[in-house]
Amino acid sequence: MLKYYEVENFRSFKNKTTFSLEKTNYKVLEETNTVRGLLKGVLFVGANASGKSGALLPVKLLLDMLFGKAEIPFEMYHCLFSMNPAVSMRFVFDIKGSEIDYSIKYHNDGSAIHELLKVDEETVLERENSYAKVSLTDQKEYTDIQLNTLFLREIYFNTRFRGHQVLQEWFSFLSASIYLDLYTRRASVYRASGIELRKYLEEKGTDEINQFFEEYNFGQRVEYGMTSTGKVAAFFGEDKHIFMKRNGINEPILLEMESTGTQNLLNLLPAFFHCTHKGGLLILDEFSSGFHNDLEKLLIRYFMKYSTNAQMLFVTHSTNLLSSSILRPDQLYTVEFGEEGSRIKRFSDEKPREAQNMEKMYLGGVFGGLPRYEN
């Protein structure tokens, strides 16, 4: 699982910034929201254009570079208001008690790149531009490496880390990860399968979703097929459709005719169930798109309760989630943009008591991250 990640000169984060998922001394929600000393997720809140989505992007970029397109879009992630051409990222994971420390530093014009991978403080891969030394393969030195790709990716695809169980477990965790932007409904799926809603319904049917709806009293259920009938309405066709039926009415409603919140929920649930049960990182931008406050609370509590090897990184504007009955103070970050770019503040840095109302404290300016509009 992810312990922390650091960036410098990355998008709006000009200065070195560390995002920690290591738990602090708080005892609240320890049994549900933490595992082996790590947090099961962190939430970013702040004004529009403060850098909240940018706080998620380093992790997404790592996943994209390792499992998506091979070429690195260097210029897209450089801080636009910095004269320093170098972008730095560092990711530290705990994988079954072993620490994996992987860092990348590159120039925004693609002229230079450095990679360093350590396992339990032992260097196993070090790359400087086109040259690399590796202890993971029989060949110990490599030359003529392409500058626009990660050498770690190349080693993985060529060897699958044969004989290195910790690294295999690390990549298994990473590849199970999913990124979703609930506003645009864009998804990035790496090695997980059956996450797109229709494919999920084709492979697994509607049982898991309907059991979730029934258990938590949603008052509706989903159907998937070419036909769906009620007492008044009926649909028949050659193609399969997704229908919603409300309890007590039982008339089929095409998903496309449902609310934005219902559509977003249905598109989220396959990824949500996957990461909860199988692990990985669930990265959610615009989490609050169309959701009622109580639905947001339900989804977070469900994830924290049932996930064992998964973490959720998410962005929202819903301040009602800033509650120690839902998330711990060390799971909450504000993001604020100033003259030096984006900066973050962890609620736990202010040492709020568990009984204090963190939403009121945030709205009162204690943690920063508030817009400065005039009345």
* Tens of each residue's pLDDT in the chain, 375 residues: 999 999 999 999 999 999 999 999 999 999 999 999 999 999 999 999 999 999 999 999 999 999 988 788 888 999 989 999 999 999 999 999 999 999 999 999 889 999 999 999 999 999 999 999 999 999 999 999 999 999 999 999 999 999 899 999 999 999 999 999 998 888 899 988 889 999 999 999 999 999 999 999 999 999 999 988 888 888 888 889 999 999 988 899 999 999 999 999 999 999 999 999 999 999 999 998 889 999 999 999 999 999 999 999 999 999 999 999 999 999 999 999 999 999 999 999 999 998 999 999 999 999 999 988 877
In angstroms, the CA 54 to CA 73 distance is 15
Q: How high is the pLDDT of residue 193?
A: 83
Domain that holds residue 76: 2-176+279-363
Within a 10 A sphere around the Cβ of 233, how many other Cβ atoms? 13
Residues 231 and 95 both lie in one domain: no
Cα–Cα separations (whole angstroms), residue 13 to 10, 17, 47, 78, 341:
5, 7, 15, 9, 6
Structure tokens that stand for 346 in this block:
């962890």
Q: How high is the pLDDT of residue 278?
A: 92
Residues 101 and 60 both lie in one domain: yes
Q: Does an H or E element contain 296, and which?
A: helix 293-306
Q: How high is the pLDDT of residue 204?
A: 94
Cα–Cα separations (whole angstroms), residue 277 to 22, 182, 220, 267, 307:
21, 21, 24, 17, 6
Residues 215 and 89 both lie in one domain: no
Q: How high is the pLDDT of residue 36?
A: 94
Residues 155 and 212 both lie in one domain: no
Total number of domains constituting the chain: 2
Q: How high is the pLDDT of residue 173?
A: 97
Residues 233 and 328 both lie in one domain: no
For residues 358 and 347, is the Cβ–Cβ distance under 8 A?
yes
Q: Which of the 8 DSSP states describes residue 139? A: -
Residues 156 and 41 both lie in one domain: yes
Nearest to 64 by CA among 74, 52, 79, 78: 74
Structure tokens that stand for 276 in this block:
């909860």
Q: Is residue 319 part of a domain?
A: yes
Q: Counting Cβ atoms within 10 Å, is residue 236 exposed (0-12), middle (13-18) or buried (19+)?
A: exposed
Q: How high is the pLDDT of residue 305?
A: 96
Residues 90 and 159 both lie in one domain: yes
CATH number at residue 314: 3.40.50.300
Residues 229 and 100 both lie in one domain: no
Residues 156 and 104 both lie in one domain: yes
Q: Is residue 68 part of a domain?
A: yes
Q: How high is the pLDDT of residue 288?
A: 83
Q: How high is the pLDDT of residue 365?
A: 93
